């Protein structure tokens, strides 16, 4: 039995299940089971305990060892929105409030990319512990969730999805009681038998355990099955563990996750969940796919599909062979009828997932959770190509949106953006495909062994699907074994990798010191304070007017008793001042603090401008243009913005113009502290721009125009131009570039820094005019004339350089002799690129690396070299040159720097 402060319990599911089962009356038995006469049994197949009204039953009902048996001869079409209304009506009549879904992009959980369960809506992590924030109790929520750990099962098992509604039913037992196991199971049984129509004798309840990944919270759960299908999981989160100690939660949580699509499937009696939920989309796909679905043949597969779970650990039989063996269907029928139907199911699912993901602000990319969206979109492209589907993917998106809108009113708000994103991604996909055949030819010529890791590299680096490689090599009599779990193995984990709490820049022990009183939020520039600690050049005060570096805003500078303050950092709420030299200060001594007011004003101007540019980017680009990072210094600032392609000059100018219009029309900055639930309710999850960390109390910085219209609201601990908004003056974007896939950086100046920039540009123009002996007011025409002369010189220089590069390229090609070559030539990078490009045009089988004494390197690959230039130089520069390569490029050309 689990008890408070139990420190000897093993925290794994098998051990906990045994512990809970020993005292099953405390953890699994309910008034319902006793009243209805349920019998407790042990499953003959898996050994789990379960409850049933069927005295002859020997299996728990799980589809892993029991076929689907709820298909009916007479099926019915069930409208998604209408069935949600019926579900919601039942629970509202039984004391629950209905709330709107949360976004599928998990902005409030820093450790997760996507929402993977309905209970996640209410979880907030602070100081490593989970707390719950909820607006109603008890409640239901139509939460769309996204999971990518079963991609290859989608379309095959009849039940797997990458996006699904977890119809959440939740009761929170703190600070006041909600309800617990008896009430939960009463409602469960009533809905299943009276609304869904489950026959009581076919219903089984299986005892199991639910836990967080680290077992920080866990409890018993009761899974409901009928006719081989799991319908709902009733989780009773009851315990927490910390430092090896287990104790009962102060606020126990009822966490019931109804598989909404499964409920519709069960009710409809159709062969697959996909046929039940995606009727309109599948009709469109089949109509334009050139096949007619044969549900009579599929019937032999449908009932046993639940046994299938694609897993690389299986030996001797792949999942396709297993399906054919279990169903008795012929190989010909499987590949001509069953597999195309499975592929159509996957397309319908994947497009709905993309609809939700992009609408809520995620983008296909090579970074984080965006990579999973790119994987499923490219999987759709692969399937469309393989089966020659003549389908418009946007018609599928629009069809899904129409059906879902009654439940999710904002689901159609990003339709235009989705169309553009799909077009951009298709161009990238087609570009990678153009190089596939050359790479495959190289594999054949070199007789390379295609390991799972090599297939993964070819997919991630070159975008070549393993199925395409297997098909093309199969034509040449070469067998390729594609791992069954290939796509599952390449997708990113649900959890954010490497996101950890930031470590302090300084090393100082602040234990026993109270948190510093922050005078800077009152905009104090001078203050008296008392010294609490002095260590080397670090000083801790009881209160301070100095802002500590945070949220990308640099720290205040100034003086303490006349000694220069060069940096300020916060350590566990204690603010530490880094002095220019070791100060002669004593603990308990009173000191005078003076902030550099001009520097602070510059920082505040840049911080307020950051919020304005963030708002402008969303207005110009769309709500997907999420702020992914920012930095504000006294001299300039930058903001990192999510976008599906590199920003154009016109887009940058429009963002700048929009931000400046906010200023010209007048803005008002206000700061308000409020509870987290209130902040999320009033302003939505865009308050977490820049990945701000949720806290119990949020400091919300709001910018309105003079009519009171909200421009931007963000959770922010920085300093802003309150009551001095006019000081921001003008915003000038001075640079824009791609920092990695899906993210653009905008560098800008505002306020005093913008004036400095304009004055600097003015001095530069005057200097140019003087150097060229041209009047400033005639500079444009005069420079044009000078540029014309320079162009003539440039033409002559280019002609000579072209001739020289041709001679050198010929010699390089002759030396390469159809193989690889690396050579140092002391020309600039442009000349190296020209020589290398010409050399591989002369010898199309060659691959050439040229580098200079400055460490610049260029690699060019001939059309028939069978190698990617960027891949070759990355993998071979250390061996051929002695230095590693850092840079980028494409199949034909790569360039960058050599590093030790």
Say if strands 543-544 and 517-518 run parallel, antiparallel, or are unpaired.
Answer: parallel
Query: What is residue 693's predicted lDDT score, i.e. its pLDDT?
Result: 67
Higher pLDDT, 175 or 387: 387
Query: What is residue 789's predicted lDDT score, i.e. its pLDDT?
Result: 65
Least confident residue range of 162-176, 282-296, 602-616: 282-296
Mean pLDDT of the residues in the chain: 88
Q: Which residues contact 703 (CB under 8 A, 6 or more apart)?
A: 608, 611, 612, 615, 662, 667, 668, 669, 670, 710, 711, 712, 713
Q: What is the mean pLDDT of residues 1-8?
A: 46
Round to whole Å and give the CA distance between 637 and 649: 19
CA distances to 303, 328, 332, 454 from 300, in Å: 7, 8, 14, 37
Query: What is residue 126's predicted lDDT score, i.e. its pLDDT?
Result: 65
Q: 713: helix, coil or strand?
A: strand
Say if strands 558-560 and 590-595 run parallel, antiparallel, or are unpaired.
Answer: antiparallel
Query: What is residue 490's predicted lDDT score, i.e. its pLDDT?
Result: 64
Instruction: Express each pLDDT in 188-218 by its tens digit.
Output: 999 999 999 999 999 999 999 998 777 788 9
pLDDT bracket for residue 776 (50, 70, 90): low
Instruction: Express each pLDDT in 413-437 by its tens digit.
Output: 999 999 999 999 999 888 777 667 7
Other Cβ atoms less than 10 A from the Cβ of 805: the count is 22
Flag whether pLDDT at 311 surpasses 70: no
Element (H, E) at 368: none
Query: What is residue 128's predicted lDDT score, i.e. its pLDDT?
Result: 64
Least confident residue range of 498-512, 522-536, 618-632: 498-512
Query: What is residue 457's predicted lDDT score, i.e. its pLDDT?
Result: 74
pLDDT bracket for residue 773 (50, 70, 90): confident
Round to whole Å and give the CA distance between 123 and 553: 28
pLDDT bracket for residue 676 (50, 70, 90): confident
Instruction: Express each pLDDT in 212-243 by its tens digit.
Output: 777 788 999 999 999 999 999 999 999 988 77
Question: Which strands sit side by side in the sheet containing 731-740, from one edge to the other?
Answer: 627-632, 637-642, 743-750, 731-740
Instruction: Express each pLDDT in 328-354 by its tens digit.
Output: 899 999 999 999 999 999 999 999 999
Other Cβ atoms less than 10 A from the Cβ of 144: the count is 28
Round to whole Å and give the CA distance between 195 and 267: 9
What's the pTM? 0.78
Q: How do the residues of the chain divide into helix, strand and coil, expressed in percent and rounded to 5? A: 40, 25, 35
What token pair was written down for 655?
């963002």
Higher pLDDT, 772 or 537: 537
Listed in sequence order, the DSSP H helices in 10-156 are: 13-22, 24-27, 31-36, 80-93
**Rounded to 5°, angle at Cα 689 from 636 and 753:** 15
Other Cβ atoms less than 10 A from the Cβ of 678: the count is 15
Query: What is residue 500's predicted lDDT score, i.e. its pLDDT?
Result: 45
Give one word for 227, left, alpha or beta, with left for phi > 0 and alpha for psi -120 to 50: left
Of all residues in the chain, the percent with pLDDT exceeding 90 is: 57
What token pair was written down for 778?
């005639």
Higher pLDDT, 287 or 476: 287
Flag whether pLDDT at 521 surpasses 50: yes
Query: What is residue 200's predicted lDDT score, i.e. its pLDDT?
Result: 96
Round to whole Å and give the CA distance between 757 and 634: 12
Please spell the DSSP secondary structure of 284-309, one letter per residue. HHHHTTT----HHHHHHHHTTGGG--
Flag whether pLDDT at 480 surpasses 80: no
Quote the crossing angle between the two packed helices 452-462 and 436-446, to the nearest 10°. Answer: 150
Flag whether pLDDT at 53 surpasses 90: yes
Round to whole Å and give the CA distance between 574 and 570: 5
Flag whether pLDDT at 788 surpasses 80: no
Residue 606's nearest CA partner among 582, 562, 638, 583 is: 638
Residue 354's nearest CA partner among 282, 422, 413, 275 is: 422
Q: What is the mean pLDDT of residues 827-840?
A: 91
Contact 520, 544 (CB under 8 A): yes
Q: What letter does residue 641 receive in the DSSP assignment?
A: E
Q: 849: helix, coil or strand?
A: strand
Residue 456's nearest CA partner among 433, 485, 428 is: 485
Residue 535's nearest CA partner among 591, 582, 589, 570 is: 582
Query: What is residue 411's predicted lDDT score, i.e. its pLDDT?
Result: 96
Q: What is the mean pLDDT of residues 132-147?
A: 91
Flag whether pLDDT at 5 surpasses 70: no
Round to whole Å and give the CA distance between 632 and 314: 54
pLDDT bracket for residue 498 (50, 70, 90): very low
Query: What is residue 313's predicted lDDT score, i.e. its pLDDT?
Result: 41
Flag whether pLDDT at 804 surpasses 60: yes
Q: What is the mean pLDDT of residues 761-765?
A: 79
Query: What is residue 7's predicted lDDT score, i.e. its pLDDT?
Result: 44
Q: What is the mean pLDDT of residues 507-514?
A: 90
pLDDT bracket for residue 783 (50, 70, 90): low
Round to whole Å and give the CA distance between 270 and 246: 45
Flag whether pLDDT at 794 surpasses 80: no
Other Cβ atoms less than 10 A from the Cβ of 883: the count is 15
Per-residue HEC secondary structure of 149-204 comes to: CCHHHCCCCCCCCCEEEEEEEEEECCCCCCCCHHHHHHHHHHHHHHHCCCCHHHEE
- Residue with the two structure tokens 């190698």: 867
Instruction: Express each pLDDT in 841-866 by its tens digit.
Output: 999 899 999 999 889 999 999 988 88
Query: What is residue 782's predicted lDDT score, i.e. its pLDDT?
Result: 64
What token pair was written down for 338?
């069953």
What token pair was written down for 144?
């769309």
Query: What is residue 826's predicted lDDT score, i.e. its pLDDT?
Result: 84
pLDDT bracket for residue 499 (50, 70, 90): very low
**Rounded to 5°, angle at Cα 622 from 652 and 635:** 40
Flag whether pLDDT at 796 surpasses 50: yes
Round to whole Å and give the CA distance between 493 and 147: 9
Query: What is residue 186's predicted lDDT score, i.e. its pLDDT?
Result: 97
Element (H, E) at 588: none
Contact 764, 772 (CB under 8 A): no
Contact 631, 552 (CB under 8 A): yes
């Amino acid at each position: 039995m689990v008890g408070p402060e139990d420190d000897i319990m093993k925290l794994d599911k098998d051990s906990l299940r045994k512990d809970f089962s020993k005292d099953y009356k405390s953890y699994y038995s309910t008034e319902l089971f006793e009243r209805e006469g349920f019998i407790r049994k042990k499953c003959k197949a898996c050994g789990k305990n379960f409850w049933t009204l069927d005295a002859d039953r020997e299996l728990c009902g799980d589809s892993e060892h029991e076929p689907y048996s709820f298909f009916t001869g007479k099926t019915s079409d069930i409208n998604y929105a209408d069935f949600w209304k019926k579900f919601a009506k039942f629970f509202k009549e039984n004391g629950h409030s209905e709330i709107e879904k949360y976004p599928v992009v998990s902005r409030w959980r820093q450790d997760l990319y996507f929402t993977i369960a309905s209970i996640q809506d209410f979880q907030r992590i602070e100081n490593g512990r989970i707390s719950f924030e909820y607006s109603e109790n008890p409640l239901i929520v139509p939460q769309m969730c996204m999971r990518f750990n079963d991609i290859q099962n989608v379309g095959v098992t009849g039940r797997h999805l990458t996006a699904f509604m977890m119809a959440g039913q939740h009761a929170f037992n703190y600070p006041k009681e909600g309800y617990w196991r008896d009430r939960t199971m009463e409602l469960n049984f009533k809905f299943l038998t009276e609304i869904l129509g489950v026959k009581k004798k076919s219903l089984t309840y299986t005892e199991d355990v639910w836990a967080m990944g680290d077992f920080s919270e866990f409890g018993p759960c009761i899974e409901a099955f009928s006719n081989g299908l799991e319908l709902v999981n009733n989780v009773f989160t009851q315990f927490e563990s910390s430092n090896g100690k287990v104790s009962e939660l102060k606020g126990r949580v009822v966490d019931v996750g109804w598989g909404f699509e499964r409920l519709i499937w069960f009710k409809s009696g159709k062969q697959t969940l996909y046929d039940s939920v995606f009727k309109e989309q599948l009709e469109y796909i089949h109509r334009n796919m050139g096949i007619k679905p044969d549900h009579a043949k599929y019937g032999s597969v449908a009932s046993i599909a639940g046994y299938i779970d694609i897993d690389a650990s299986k030996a001797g039989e792949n999942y396709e062979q297993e399906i054919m063996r279990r169903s008795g269907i012929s190989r010909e029928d499987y590949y001509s009828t069953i597999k195309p139907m499975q592929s159509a199911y996957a397309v319908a699912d994947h497009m709905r997932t993309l609809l939700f993901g992009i609408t809520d602000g995620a983008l296909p990319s090579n970074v984080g959770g965006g990579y999973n969206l790119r994987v499923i979109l490219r999987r759709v492209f692969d399937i469309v190509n393989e089966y020659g589907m003549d389908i418009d993917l946007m018609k599928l998106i629009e069809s899904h949106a129409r059906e879902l809108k009654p439940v999710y009113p904002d689901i159609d708000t990003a339709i235009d953006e989705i169309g553009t994103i799909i077009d951009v991604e298709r161009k990238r996909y087609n570009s990678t495909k153009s190089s596939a055949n050359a790479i495959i030819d190289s594999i054949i010529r070199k007789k390379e062994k295609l390991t799972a890791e090599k297939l993964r590299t070819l997919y991630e680096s070159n975008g070549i699907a393993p199925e395409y490689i297997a098909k093309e090599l199969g034509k040449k009599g070469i067998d390729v074994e594609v791992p069954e779990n290939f796509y599952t193995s390449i997708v990113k984990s649900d959890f954010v990798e490497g996101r950890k709490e930031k470590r302090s820049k300084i090393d100082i022990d602040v234990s026993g010191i109270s948190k510093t009183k922050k005078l800077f939020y009152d905009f104090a520039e001078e203050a008296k304070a008392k010294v609490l600690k002095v260590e080397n050049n670090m000083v801790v005060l009881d209160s301070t007017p100095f802002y500590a570096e945070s949220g990308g805003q640099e720290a205040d500078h100034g003086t303490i008793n006349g000694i220069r303050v060069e940096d300020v950092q916060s350590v566990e709420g204690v603010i530490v001042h880094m002095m220019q030299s070791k100060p002669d200060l004593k603990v308990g001594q009173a000191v005078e603090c003076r902030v550099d007011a001009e520097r602070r004003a510059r920082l505040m101007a840049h911080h307020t401008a950051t919020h304005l540019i963030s708002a402008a980017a969303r207005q110009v680009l769309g709500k997907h243009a999420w702020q992914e990072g920012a930095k504000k210094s006294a001299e300039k600032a930058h903001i990192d913005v999510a976008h599906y392609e590199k920003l154009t000059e016109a887009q940058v100018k429009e963002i700048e113009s929009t931000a400046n219009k906010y200023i010209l029309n007048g803005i008002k900055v206000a700061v308000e502290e409020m509870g987290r639930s209130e902040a999320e309710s009033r302003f939505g999850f865009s308050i977490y721009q820049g990945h701000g960390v949720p806290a119990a109390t949020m400091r919300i910085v709001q910018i309105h125009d003079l009519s009171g219209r909200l421009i931007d609201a963000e959770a922010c601990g920085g300093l802003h131009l309150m009551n001095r908004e006019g000081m921001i003056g003008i915003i000038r974007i001075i640079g824009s570039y791609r920092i990695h896939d899906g993210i653009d950086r905008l560098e800008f100046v505002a306020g005093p820094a913008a004036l400095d920039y304009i004055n600097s540009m003015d001095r530069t123009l005057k200097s140019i005019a003087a150097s060229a002996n041209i009047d400033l007011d005639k500079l444009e025409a005069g420079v044009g004339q000078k540029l014309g002369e320079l162009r003539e010189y440039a033409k002559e220089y280019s002609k000579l350089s072209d001739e020289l590069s041709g001679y050198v390229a010929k010699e390089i090609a002759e030396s390469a002799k159809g193989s690889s070559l690396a050579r140092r030539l002391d020309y600039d990078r442009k000349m190296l690129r020209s020589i290398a490009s010409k050399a591989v045009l002369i010898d199309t089988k060659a691959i050439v690396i040229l580098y200079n004494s400055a460490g610049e390197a260029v690699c060019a690959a001939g059309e028939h070299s069978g190698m990617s230039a960027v891949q070759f130089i990355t993998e071979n520069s250390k061996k051929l040159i002695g230095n590693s390569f850092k840079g980028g490029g494409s199949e034909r050309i790569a360039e960058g720097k050599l590093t030790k």
